Amino acid sequence: MKFTAWATSDLPELEEGSVYRLENLVTDEYEGRFSVKLNRTTSIEEVDEEIDVPESGGTSEEREIAEIDAPEEWIDLTAKVTQLWEPRSESVGQVGLLGDPTGTTKFTKWAKSDLPELEEGEVYRLSNLVTDEYEGQFSVKLNRTTGIEQVDEEIEVGDDSTTVEGALVDVQRGSGLIKRCPEEDCTRVLQNGRCSEHGEVEGEFDLRVKAVIDDGNEVHETIFDEEATEELAGVTLDEAKEMAMDALDTSVVADEISGKILGSYYRVKGPTFRRYVLANEFERLSEPADAEETLIRARSL
């Protein structure tokens, strides 16, 4: 079970591998996952005994990606590394996408896990992965108990993408320059400097666009991540930070991006996550002859 000890609690450091008797913990729950918090009233006593804890937290079982439907389960996967991204945190060794015939899922490999590097385009049998879930999207984590075996076979990765096409008619709140929680295994967007899971934290800057695309019949909410936003709006993360610093206001970044993309037509392709299409690929289109009429109708909706 996860635990958190607040910096303000002024408690002694816990050491990995040691056994403690802990009194006055507070239980917590987030999206069905339980944890405990240590606070200033918590007492900590190290005890000289051994506790037998299963290394993998349980028995893992073979799954396909489409069968991942719950967090904190131990599973085995045979999957292809379809994409690797640049990690945003020093605690992350590798991050990217795994794919099998049933679909794709994000993976994270921690830097401290001391595991070999995965190569894009290669197929691996991965044992002792831990499933995770955030806002309805499932992913897997590689840890120090994970087994990695490269296999000499081809996997045809299933396409779970959606394509939408239309006018970009709105840039939603939460777009532009944002801050995410820097804690390991957390990417939540901070609200007034606070993470809903880890409290007040410093935060790491990120760039995104939450856009609404109207195809003339219905609207599609779409998310562009940092890389896609830089290409979409021609604004890099460093430029966005400078812009905000000069104006002493992060909202100028969203205003700048909105001015560049609102009213333009795009074709966007990517997986669907809750109500959002995640923009893995996109292209700007020529405006149709009745663009003004389409925009007027879209804005009225």
% of residues, the chain, pLDDT over 70: 89
Structure-model confidence comparison of residues 6 and 31, the more confident one: 6
pLDDT category of residue 184 using cuts at 50, 70 and 90: low
Beta bridge partners of 162: 270
What is the DSSP pairing of strand 194-195 with strand 147-150? unpaired
pLDDT category of residue 83 using cuts at 50, 70 and 90: confident
| pLDDT tens string 234-269 | 999 999 999 999 999 999 999 999 999 999 999 999
Topology alike, domains 2-46 and 161-300: yes
Q: What is the pTM of this model?
A: 0.57
**How many residues in the chain?**
301
Average pLDDT over every residue of 73-88: 89
Architecture of the structural domain at 161-300: Beta Barrel (2.40)
pLDDT at residue number 58: 52
Tokens of 45: 């006593």
| pLDDT tens string 122-141 | 999 999 999 987 656 788 99
Does the structure show a pLDDT above 50 at 56? no
Amino acid at residue number 63? R
b/e burial code for range 132-162 (CB count within 10 A of at least 16 → b)? bbbeeebbbbbbebbeeeeeeeebebeeebe
* Secondary structure in 3-state letters for 93-157: EEEEEEEECCEEEEEEEEHHHCCCCCCCCCEEEEEEEEEEEECCEEEEEECCCCEEEECCCCCCC
Find, among 162, 160, 132, 146, the residue nearest to 69 by Cα. 132
Four-residue CA torsion sign, 225, 131, 103, 157: positive
The whole-angstrom separation of Cα 42 and Cα 25 is 6
Does the structure show a pLDDT above 60 at 60? yes
CATH of the domain spanning 61-150: 2.40.50.140
- Decide: 294 and 287 in contact? Cβ < 8 Å: no
Q: What does the domain layout of the chain look like in residue ranges?
A: 2-46, 61-150, 161-300
End-to-end CA distance of the chain: 46
- Helix (H) and strand (E) counts for the chain? 4, 21
| pLDDT tens string 199-214 | 888 889 999 999 999 9
Average pLDDT over every residue of 182-205: 82
Does the structure show a pLDDT above 70 at 142? yes
Average pLDDT over the chain reads 86
Q: How many CB atoms lie within 10 A of CB 12?
A: 9
CATH classification for the domain delimited by 2-46, as one of 3.40.50.300, 3.40.630.10, 3.20.20.30, 2.40.50.140: 2.40.50.140
pLDDT at residue number 254: 95
- Decide: 77 and 57 in contact? Cβ < 8 Å: no
Among 5-14, 25-34, 68-77, 223-232, the range with the most confident prediction by mean pLDDT is 223-232
